[in-house]
Structure 1
Amino acid sequence: MANKVEPLITPDEVQEILAEPKETVKPISWVHRPLAASGNAALPLWMEFASACRVKGEIREDVIFRVFYRSPRTRVQGQAAIMVGEAFGASLFVGPHRVFGVDTDDSFHSSLVGNGLPNYRRVLADRSHQHIWVAEGEGYAEPLTPALNSISALIDYFLPRANLTLAGGFAHPLKGRQIELIL
């Protein structure tokens, strides 16, 4: 199984939590995360935000919304320069479990849980996919087409499906940053 922790929550409980209206307890305030510089021609920008959620008027420290953004970058391997597109994702966690998530990136995903489901052990090459909770736990994903090619599009897709409202609305991670020109 893909998950290292036995699921503490059932698919029915996940559906109940997803159905409940939720709101983050704080507005988006992006936090910079460090990246290893080895193999990168240009160090990418990596930022994330996490907040507990209010459910039924109560702050639930075990229900967490997380979103991340990583700018496009160039990886250098030997004499090759490999362009890697921007990556971003949004997730809802209950305790240690990612019960719903949407990702856009250039990596492949293989569902190691979900025996009997259409994408079980199938490699997803699509840029965007969504993670859903199954009886075996987390790790099952389905392709999303067309791809969600911006973090704004991903958030617009994610929020209604998670029944989540962001306190203060969505703030783009690059808002207020100057564009850097390479001369």
Structure 2
Amino acid sequence: MANKFEPLITVDEVQEILAEPKETVKPVLWTPKPAAAASQWMEFTSPCRIKGEVREDVIFRTIYRGARTAVHGQATIFLTEAFCASLFVGPHRVFGVDTDDAFHTSLVGLGRPQFRKPLADRSHEHIWVDEGEGYAEPIVPALETIGALMQYFLPRANLTLAGGFAHPLKGRQIELIL
């Protein structure tokens, strides 16, 4: 059986798609993302409309996890919010912005400033390079809220959210620990 690889799209093709004005087909409606762990992620995904045509292969996806406290034995660890926004073309994440406490090392992007360097910054953006996905550069100062991330991401992706942005916790009650 022959190996089958998805063809990579070129940097120029990605730039063309990013340059096109896009709008999500659906308004933002957050849904719980199934997870094996106790942390609850929320997700919104929508195809995009480009030049009046719904493109099922151009997908906007954003995920959010609220701040939480994890208890491990006698240790109590506060974990801040984590969130990201991404634009996919087919299976490829061609542009993304992440804010979380995880480190990222770019394994692609030979000759670029962050190649093989760990990014310790809370926020970074994923940029499509000749080798494909996996290259990221820091965003300083960090994007501390999902609203700030959207203000950064949407104009760079040339994307409009149908109905505007809605925070994933909008309308939810805060649980008090007594």
For normalisation by structure 2, the TM-score amounts to 0.93
* Secondary structure in 2 matching 1:61: strand
CA distance in 2, matches of 1:78, 1:139: 35
Aligned residues of 1:44 and 1:72 also touching (Cα < 8 A): no
1:170 counterpart residue number? 165
2:24 counterpart residue number? 24
Unaligned runs of 5+ in 1: 38-42
1:95 counterpart residue number? 90
CA distance in 1, matches of 2:116, 2:71: 30
What code does the residue aligned with 1:112 have? L
Decide which moves more: 82-91 or 124-133: 82-91
CA distance in 1, matches of 2:7, 2:167: 33
2:123 counterpart residue number? 128
Describe the superposition over 1:14-59 as per-residue Cα deviations: whole angstroms up to 9, x where unpaired: 000000000000101111123334xxxxx43310000000011111
1:118 counterpart residue number? 113
1:161 counterpart residue number? 156
How many residues matched?
174
* Secondary structure in 1 matching 2:71: strand
Aligned residues of 1:53 and 1:63 also touching (Cα < 8 A): yes
* Secondary structure in 2 matching 1:93: strand
Shift of 1:181: 1.2
CA distance in 2, matches of 1:13, 1:35: 34
Shift of 1:81: 2.4
Unaligned runs of 5+ in 2: none
2:13 counterpart residue number? 13
CA-based RMSD of the aligned residues comes to 1.3
For normalisation by structure 1, the TM-score amounts to 0.91
Describe the superposition over 1:36-88 as per-residue Cα deviations: whole angstroms up to 9, x where unpaired: 34xxxxx4331000000001111100000000001112333343222211100
CA distance in 2, matches of 1:141, 1:83: 26
What code does the residue aligned with 1:54 have? R
2:40 counterpart residue number? 45
What code does the residue aligned with 2:90 have? G
